[in-house]
Amino acid sequence: MVAHLRTRRRRGAGGGITPMPKIIFISPEGAQTAINIAAGTTILQAAWDNNIDVEGACEGCMACSTCHVIIGKDHFDQLPAPSDEEEDLLDLAWGVRPTSRLGCQLAITDALDGIEVMLPATTNNQM
């Protein structure tokens, strides 16, 4: 069950209003929060803008692993491959899974509409 949905719309090419891509954040306890964001927004920025508990200690410059998230399998293969630097930082994260990524490195596109983003139970802040 989705706890709440924050819906926003954007102007389309013809001036009409079109829905924005949706992210579903899932807390470690299983609570879901669905939000709509502008395409091009990172998962980390979307979390910050909507009071979702994602730390991002390095402020999104890929110098820590505190924005570690677990991507739902339905959308994971649609993401660009992680860089070597991202993979190195994921090695420092707690609770890494095969679909783990850093939220600061993932910009949402229209094709990722409905992506599920699970939050780990804890982060490993080494800053």
Q: Residues 73-114: pLDDT tens digits?
A: 999 999 999 999 999 999 999 899 999 999 999 999 999 999
Looking up residue 29, the CATH number of its domain turns out to be 3.10.20.30
Residue 13 lies in a domain: no
Displacement of CA 3 from its chain's centroid (Å): 17
Per-residue pLDDT at 120: 94
Q: C-alpha distances in angstroms, 39 versus 36, 42, 91, 108, 113?
A: 9, 9, 28, 5, 9
Range from 16-20, 86-90, 119-123 that averages highest in pLDDT: 86-90
Q: Which residue has the tokens 């706890």?
A: 3
Strand pairing category for 32-36 and 100-102? unpaired
Residue 124 lies in a domain: no
- Can you give the residue range of the structural domain that contains 81? 2-6+19-118
Residue 110 lies in a domain: yes
Mean pLDDT computed over 6-19? 55
Report the predicted TM-score, pTM, of the whole model to 2 decimal places: 0.83
Per-residue pLDDT at 20: 94
Residue 112 near residue 77, CB atoms below 8 Å? no
Top pLDDT among 2 and 59 is at 59
Domain count, the chain: 1
Residue 126 lies in a domain: no
Residue 127 lies in a domain: no
